[in-house]
Chains A and B, each alone.
Chain A
Amino acid sequence: MAEPGRGWRLAAPVLVLLAAILAWQALVTWRELPVWLVPSPAVVARTLVADRVLLLDSLGVTLGIALAALALAVVLGVATALLFVQSRWLEMSLFPYAVLLQVTPIVAIAPLVIIWVRDTRLALVLCATVVAIFPVIANTTLGLRSVDPGLLDLFRLSRASRWQQLWRLRAPSALPWFFGGLRIASGLALIGAVVAEFVAGTGGAGAGLAYQILLAGIQLNVPRLFAALVLITLAGVAMFAAVAWVSRIALRRWHESELERA
């Protein structure tokens, strides 16, 4: 089978989306589904426009929390990974706790964090960070260890210092792995932000999209619920695309995963 052309990379998923929307609209019209059960795409679109001020404000809040959490996860995760590769002892002693962070459901610890941290926004960022940090730690640690043994010998023969070995050899080798972790973390940060908002249930001026969904659900304002859902999804896709783009810029000249095919 021939490789699909470049244009199809974007066109194929868009076509699927259009088909799904059409099918959805057709189903709602044909079965005469009530708007409080399944609103049609047209109604959702109208709601998006009508409630845009409210929804975009909330999107800004949620996105801000997710991005702050992602940034914090990168800083703390990379720092932890750097510590881990400095000493096997450190890694052996602490890695199980990183796993613990990963396997503990955020909904279970979010109430505690929200009680302990007075600033709600900060509490939400911390919760989302806890969710997003593990892939950054795990992937970066693996990457920092996945070094060409020949190059490692070369550095040893040249009497490179630990520092030189870290910055000139381990860090560049780890870059593709780090970006792999970052892609996963970008999605998790958003999920973490939404889940934490659900638990916190903060309304008022600082209300995020999760709160709008919660409220719309209670009020049976299903079109707005759908509209908020669409925005969250779009935000997640945008974050993923941004990370993928940065990864492409950083790696496309040399790494197999991003090489442009001739």
Chain B
Amino acid sequence: MDARRRPRRQGAPLTQGGSAPPVLEARGVAKTFRTGTAALAGIDATVRAGEFVTLLGPSGCGKTTLLNLFAGLAAPSSGALRWWGEPAPPDDPARRFGYVFQAPTLMPWTTIASNVRLPLDLAHVPRPRADAAVAEALALVGLTGVDRHLPRELSGGMQMRASIARALVTAPSLLLMDEPFGALDEFTRERLDAELSELWRARGLTVVFVTHSIAEAVFLSTRILVMGARPGRLLADIPVAAPFPRDDDWRTSVAFAQLARRVASRVREAGAEAHG
């Protein structure tokens, strides 16, 4: 993703903890499915503007459920959620946040350009303006010359890029990402992680990112929320105070390895406390 072509935000801080306004808030949020499964219990969390927050945990711990609550795709059984301080998701959520699914989730019958343009088409954005936005979003994720290809003609990594372009095409300030690179090979995933990190910094985005990979969480995040299962709850809130930009040099550095090990042991401790 060629984030460099955009002006970098002035002195992007490493972590915008305390002072930035909250974008997402969860207070005592619980979710019980109709089957009786307690997916989430007593979640208290705040995501502030400019943060890159990762929800980290094993499968079945409710990471995706929490993300879907933030997206407004489901309602909590109890507790309260706030979006930009409001008690309801913004009227036009496509404008305020982009959502990236585990799979590329592209329409197989139509071209990449038309897939990326979908949120704008659905909002009746005039065609010339929509096409310009599509071209910009595709350039941003490093996909050029494939506008007229069908999704199946692209590799898994390229399909995921198209999926991210679609999430960015409405120029949202918040990105919700549900294990977007989980199905990709390690090389592709590492490259997309690095590009996503650049994109986040360059565009001044707020990102909530779901993963079960500790290394990926450490590489990307300003803050990691560790989750445990049955019922899904927050076990630890770990700030990652490593400098940016984070690239392949950082990924292979001793500092990264030490940090990842520290986070891993905190995750284990939290798990042990929770079950002890």
Q: Does B241 contact A (CB under 8 A)?
A: no
Q: Which of B102, B109, B122 contacts A155 (CB 8 A)?
A: B122
- Taking a contact as CB atoms under 8 Å apart, the answer to whether A158 and B119 are in contact is yes
Expressed in whole angstroms, the minimum distance between the Cβ of A46 and any Cβ of chain B is 50
Q: Please report the C-alpha to C-alpha distance between residue A75 and residue B176 in the assembled complex, in whole angstroms.
A: 42
Expressed in whole angstroms, the minimum distance between the Cβ of A90 and any Cβ of chain B is 24
- Taking a contact as CB atoms under 8 Å apart, the answer to whether B94 and A157 are in contact is yes
Residues of A with C-beta under 8 A to B110:
172
**What does the 1/0 interface line of A133-176 toward B look like (CB < 8 Å)?**
00000000000000010110111111110001000110010010
| A157-B71 contact in complex given A151-B107, A172-B109, A254-B152, C-beta closer than 8 Å | yes
**What does the 1/0 interface line of B115-140 toward A look like (CB < 8 Å)?**
00011011100000000000000000
Q: Please report the C-alpha to C-alpha distance between residue A255 and residue B110 in the assembled complex, in whole angstroms.
A: 11
Expressed in whole angstroms, the minimum distance between the Cβ of B156 and any Cβ of chain A is 15
Interfacial residues of chain A within 169-194, with CB under 8 A of chain B in the complex: 169, 172, 175
| A158-B118 contact in complex given A153-B73, A254-B150, C-beta closer than 8 Å | yes
Q: Please report the C-alpha to C-alpha distance between residue A253 and residue B123 in the assembled complex, in whole angstroms.
A: 27
30 interchain pairs, CB-CB under 8 A: A148-B105, A150-B101, A150-B105, A151-B107, A153-B99, A154-B105, A155-B122, A156-B73, A157-B71, A157-B73, A157-B93, A157-B94, A158-B94, A158-B123, A159-B123, A160-B122, A164-B122, A172-B107, A172-B109, A172-B110, A175-B109, A253-B109, A253-B150, A254-B108, A254-B109, A254-B150, A254-B152, A255-B108, A255-B109, A259-B152
Q: Does B103 contact A (CB under 8 A)?
A: yes
Residues of A with C-beta under 8 A to B152:
254, 259
**What does the 1/0 interface line of B73-92 toward A look like (CB < 8 Å)?**
10000000000000000001
Chain B: which residue is nearest A155 at the CB level? B122
> Which of A150, A156, A158, A255 has the most C-beta atoms of chain B within 10 angstroms of its own C-beta?
A158
| A154-B109 contact in complex given A160-B122, A253-B150, C-beta closer than 8 Å | no
**What does the 1/0 interface line of B27-65 toward A look like (CB < 8 Å)?**
000000000000000000000000000000000000000
